[in-house]
Amino acid sequence: MQIDFKKEILLEKKISDPDVVSVLFHEKKQVILRALMYEEKNIMDLRRELKMNPGTIKRHLDDLRAKKLVTEPHVVINKYGIKEKYYRAMARRFIVHLEWP
């Protein structure tokens, strides 16, 4: 699925699902999410920036995508014929609403 990246990123997103919150508060996922808040990046960009294993980044991104914290990748085929997937955070800020019990 291709996404139109010209549309503005959400300024904030409210989260109340505890499952999503647990993903959001994972330390490494937060680092990745923060890196994707102002610019769309591919895994190789993230690897260079965060000095993390690309496989680890991929798994974290999959989790973040599953919880709708990161958008579906923007797919481009560059001039060298290589497919590239660019990821971006769903919003610039996440607001957590939790009530218990």
Partner 1 sequence: MNKKGSKKQSYIHEALVDIRLSWRLYKSNFKVFLGAQIISILVFLFLTYPWEFSLSFYFNIELDRNYTFYQIRSLIGMFLILIFFGSSFGLSYDIMSGGDQFTELRGFFHYFREYWWQYILLSLLLLLGTFICSLIVGLFTVYEVFDPTSQGFYIILYLVLYNVMIRIFMYLWVSVLIENFPSLNYQGGIKNAFYENWQILRLNSKRIFSSLFLFFMIFDFPWIVLDILEISMRFIAIEKGWMWYLNFYESYSQIMFPFFKFLAQTVFCFLLAIPMLTLISTRIYNSLKLVNNKKDE
Binding site for partner 1 (CB under 8 A): 42-44, 47, 54-55, 58, 73, 75, 77, 80-85
Residue 32 and residue 57 in contact, taking contact as beta carbons nearer than 8 Å:
yes
Q: How many other C-beta atoms can be found within 10 angstroms of the C-beta atom of residue 84? A: 15
Q: Looking at beta carbons only, is 71 or 94 nearer to partner 1?
A: 71
Which residue lies nearer to partner 1 by CB, 24 or 52?
A: 52
Minimum distance, C-beta of residue 54 to partner 1, in the bound complex (Å): 4
Q: Encoding tokens for residue 72?
A: 């579906």
CB of 2 to partner 1, least distance (A): 12
Residue nearer to partner 1 on the CB measure, 30 or 42: 42
| CB of 81 vs partner 1, minimal distance in Å | 4
